[in-house]
Structure 1
Amino acid sequence: MRKLNPAKLLLSKWTAVKPIDKNKHFLISKIIRPDDPNAPLELFEIEAVYSKKSHQIHWRELQDETKWRQGWISD
């Protein structure tokens, strides 16, 4: 399991091990800040590079190397 700092994930690049809706390359496009300013960051908006579709993801999901690889990797 890789160590990640959620505060530094904005605009980072990710590759899905298994394509999601026919998309493989993604970019963290937005930090979804909690209502409580003292609460930790948890949710991010991840955007597909090709289709521009986006969805929310918990940053800890990116630590799962069976689902995500850091950077844009072509197989």
Structure 2
Amino acid sequence: MHQINPNKLLLSKWTSTSPQQKEKHFIVTKLIRDEENIVVECILEAVINKHQYQLPWQALTSTENWLQGWK
């Protein structure tokens, strides 16, 4: 598992280990915070087609699904 600081995720790059519809490389375009200003989710945008996906930031810690950077 990766150690991730959720406050530093904005504009970070990620590679999916199981690409769907040729969507392999992603960039974090937005952080969603709760009322206490704690990051709870992030928006990942596929580089190839600009599709956006919202997921809990903790999902990025799974090395089975995500690699940090573009590989």
The answer, yes or no, to whether TM exceeds 0.5 is yes
- The reply on whether 1:52 has 2:50 as its aligned counterpart is yes
Which structure has the greater CA radius of gyration? 1
Question: What's the counterpart of residue 12 of structure 1?
Answer: 12
Of 43, 55, 67, which residue of structure 2 is paired with 1:69?
67
* TM-score, length-scaled by structure 1: 0.88
Distance (Å, rounded) in 2 between the aligned partners of 1:12 and 1:61 = 14
Question: What's the counterpart of residue 21 of structure 1?
Answer: 21
Where does the alignment leave 5 or more consecutive residues of structure 1 unmatched?
none
SS in 2 for 1:25: strand
% identity of equivalent residues: 42
* TM-score, length-scaled by structure 2: 0.93
Task: Give the residue type in structure 2 aligned to 1:50.
Answer: I
